[in-house]
């Protein structure tokens, strides 16, 4: 079996020292860090619903620039524009990452044999990043397009999307995939670029973060489902007491 059988053509170019390979690595790492940090902020923003509808409402108004509005209500266009920017970053990240994706069945089989023979933890982490990346290729754009076409956010409107529009099905699949992919990705970037030599400690931190982020994500999702279940159609946007 030759190297060409095991690796995609783009990887062969990288081995040969193609100048684009180094640039693509830097772009992949930079966009990965950006998306990973965004995920950390995003999940904590969403989890503010655990503190109540008022807390989530106030967070939304702050993020959407409510302090610049005479009424104190944020501008949904901010969410739309930010979602478009995130989509562009996701597309760029996926474009440079796909060059390392096994494109043939034989390459997947070779990877599985390699993992079975060599019990290397980083190889297993890379495999799961490939699997979750494949899942996100289909699920992430759906979520982002939803936020672009319907940027209205609020306790009632978000609960309507999750419960009445059955978006919880998408989020239930998206949540573990994006968390696992992001945390493994940040771990691999830190190791790749020499930010730390303590791989064992960093792997433990990544596992803790995966459990933590999935936990707050699940609790948040359940909260939206419970809230949506108690709302009847048509849904009226949440208005805080005293407004």
Give the residue numbers of the binding site for heme b.
42, 93, 143, 181
25: burial class by Cβ within 10 Å (0-12, 13-18, 19+)? Answer: middle
Cα–Cα distance, 160 to 166 (Å, whole number): 9
The Cα 60–Cα 45 span in angstroms is 8
What token pair was written down for 84?
């478009």
d(C-alpha 60, C-alpha 74), whole Å: 7
CA pair distance 57, 18, nearest whole angstrom: 50
3-state helix, strand, coil in the chain (%, to 5): 80, 0, 20
Please give the C-alpha separations between residue 110 and each of 85, 116, 214, in angstroms, as whole numbers. Answer: 37, 10, 31
DSSP 70: S
For 213, which DSSP code?
Answer: H
Instruction: Evaluate whether 93 touches 84 at the Cβ level (below 8 Å).
Output: no
Compute the distance between CA of residue 243 and CA of residue 35 in angstroms, rounded to an integer: 36
Binding site as annotated, residues:
42, 93, 143, 181
Please give the Cα distance from 19 to 21 (Å, whole number).
5
């Amino acid at each position: 079996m030759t190297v060409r059988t095991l690796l995609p053509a783009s990887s062969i170019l990288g081995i040969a020292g193609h100048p684009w390979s180094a640039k693509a690595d830097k772009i992949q790492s930079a966009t990965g860090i950006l998306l990973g940090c965004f995920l950390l902020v995003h999940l904590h923003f969403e989890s503010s619903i655990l503190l109540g509808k008022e807390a989530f409402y106030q967070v939304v108004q702050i993020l959407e620039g409510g302090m610049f509005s005479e009424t104190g209500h944020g501008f949904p266009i901010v969410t739309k524009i930010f979602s478009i920017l995130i989509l562009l970053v996701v597309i760029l990240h996926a474009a440079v990452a796909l060059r390392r994706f096994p494109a043939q069945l034989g390459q997947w089989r070779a990877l599985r044999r390699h993992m079975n023979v060599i019990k290397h933890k980083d190889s297993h982490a890379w495999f799961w990043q490939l699997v979750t990346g494949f899942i996100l290729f289909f699920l992430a754009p759906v979520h982002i397009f939803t936020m672009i076409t319907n940027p209205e956010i609020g306790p009632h409107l978000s609960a309507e999307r999750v419960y009445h529009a059955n978006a919880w099905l998408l989020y239930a699949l998206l949540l573990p995939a994006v968390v696992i992919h992001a945390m493994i990705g940040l771990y691999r970037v830190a190791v790749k670029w020499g930010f730390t030599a303590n791989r064992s400690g960093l792997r433990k931190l990544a596992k803790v973060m995966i459990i933590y982020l999935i936990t707050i994500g699940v609790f948040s999702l359940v909260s939206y489902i419970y809230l949506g279940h108690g709302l009847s159609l048509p849904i009226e946007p949440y208005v805080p007491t005293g407004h």
